[in-house]
Structure 1
Amino acid sequence: MIRAIDAITRGAAILAAWMFFSIGFMVTYEVVMRKIFNAPTIWVDEVARFFQIWAVYLGCAHILKRGKLITVELFTRSFPPGFVKCCSCIALLSVGFFSIVATYYGAGMVIESVEMGRKTSTMLGVPKWLTESAIPVGFGLLTLQALAELQKQFSPSGSRGAGSDRGASA
């Protein structure tokens, strides 16, 4: 199960990376169209914003997996490994709890947007649930990854906690 969660997290991170890469092309295209051809687009701003929101939420679980969330390294180096492991477990439980709450309320927001037919107030008029769905999806992935990292803390193969693949590339 942990391997499946890690694979989903990695896939989401790769998708997020491509979305960020695409944003660069979209913004470059917009600048060229606006400044050189005096023909601004109506879609780049909204699509780039959509990609950015999704990319951030899709990448969160991978950041947790790689151990790249904010940590106080002085703290982790100054105390015995058992105490650090205990603190790591508490942190993972906190992340998991917050992520469950965010997933729940985010899903409620998406359902409400679908029921009310909310759309963006831009020229494209995109349904808001398309953007809002990033919250329950991203936090759902973060919940699963937090649980996987918590289980890794207690795996017999050693201390494979959050950040165990720090040297790995995304």
Structure 2
Amino acid sequence: MRAFHAVLQVLAGIAAFLFILAGCMLTYEVTARYLFVAPTIWAAELSQLSLIWGSMIGMPWLLKTNQHIAVDAVTERLGKQAQRVCRVLAMTAIALFSAVVAWKGGDIFYDSFERGRTTGSMLDLPTWVSELAIPVGFALLFVQALIELGAAVARPAPSGGPVS
């Protein structure tokens, strides 16, 4: 589990870099297009690819560090045991959803890879490059959700707030 969390930490760093890279590419594109009237053929598509991969590989780290978006207005008012039950149910739902998306996303990736589909843009990248991010990201999220589920089942809820 320690090795997996180390991998998630590295992937979170890569995700952050990809977001910065996307911002730089889009800034360059806007500057090139509007100041120099010389738009690029690569900036929009590569920045989109960076955002897709950054989002997908960052998901499991966000779950691990409890930094994902959560609406806890109701669960904060529950008792410790009810919070624990909610955490178990939430991690179960995330794990099941992630498994299905990883499996179906893998099918879509493989089909595009086999058929040699491309984006059809001027850059004409293979579509599997972006589609691969879905099964990879959701498979990692599945594993992290199982880890969180095991922790939620094994330990009692901490006092003074929701289970994290």
TM-score, normalized by the shorter chain, greater than 0.5? yes
Distance, in Å, in 1 between the alignment partners of 2:124 and 2:26 is 20
Partner of 1:140: 139
Matched, 1:27 2:26: yes
Share of identical aligned residues, percent?
37
2:7 matches 1:8: yes
Cα deviation code 1:97-139 (max 9, x no counterpart): 0000000000001110011110011011100000000100010
Aligned equivalent of 2:108: 109
Which moves more between the two structures, 65-74 or 125-134?
65-74
Higher relative contact order (CA 8 A, sep 6+): 1
Confirm or deny: 8 A CA contact 1:23 1:51 kept in the other structure: yes
Give unmatched runs, 5+ long, in structure 1: 165-170
Alignment partner of 1:41: what SS?
coil
Runs ≥4 in structure 1, deviation > 4 angstroms?
none
- Report the Cα distance in structure 2 between the residues aligned to 1:44 and 1:11, rounded to whole angstroms: 25
TM-score after normalising by structure 1: 0.87
Does the aligned pair in 1 maintain the 2:80–2:157 contact within 8 Å?
A: no
Residue 76 of structure 2 corresponds to which residue in structure 1? 77
Judge conservation of contact 2:83–2:157 (CA < 8 Å) in 1: no
**Once the two structures are superposed, what CA deviation does each residue of 1:51-96 show, in whole Å capped at 9, x if it has no partner?**
1111111111122112233433232221111111111011101100
TM-score (norm 2): 0.90
Q: 1:149 to 1:60 in 2, by over 3 A?
A: same
- How many residue pairs get aligned? The number is 161
In structure 2, list runs of 5 or more residues that go unmatched: none
Equivalent position of 2:38 in the other structure? 39
Aligned-partner Cα distance in 2 for 1:132–1:51: 12
CA contact (8 A) 1:64 1:163 kept: no
Q: CA RMSD in A?
A: 1.9
